[in-house]
Amino acid sequence: MSTVRILAWTVVALVLMALAVPWFLWGEARTAVGLPLWLWWHVGWMALASLVFAVFARTDWGLGVEEVSQRG
């Protein structure tokens, strides 16, 4: 079960990273409320990334971390 969760969170992280830079909005001159669309994309994307991180922190924090025994 934890392997599936690790893979799922890995996919989520990769998607968040891949779409963090709005390549498709480069060269776009449209604005909304006085700011360019690419800036709004960043604002929204950071809000989404924050929510995803909050869910991860509440549900699966420490997933994939192994306990290390003391030497000695």
The model's pLDDT over 24-61, given as tens digits with 9 standing for 90+, comes to 888 888 899 999 998 999 999 999 999 999 999 999 88
Q: Nearest 5°: phi and psi at 21?
A: -100, 115
Residue 69 within a domain: no
Q: Which residue has the higher pLDDT, 71 or 13?
A: 13
Residue 72 within a domain: no
What's the pLDDT band for 2 if we cut at 50, 70, 90? Answer: confident
Q: How many domains does the chain have?
A: 1
The span from the CA of 44 to the CA of 35, in Å, is 13
Task: Give residue 36's domain range.
Answer: 2-59
The residue among 3, 58, 39, 69 whose CA lies nearest residue 11 is: 3
Residue 49 within a domain: yes
Residue 10 within a domain: yes
Residue 7 within a domain: yes
pTM listed for this prediction: 0.76
Residue 66 within a domain: no
The span from the CA of 15 to the CA of 13, in Å, is 5
Residue 20 within a domain: yes
Residue 71 within a domain: no
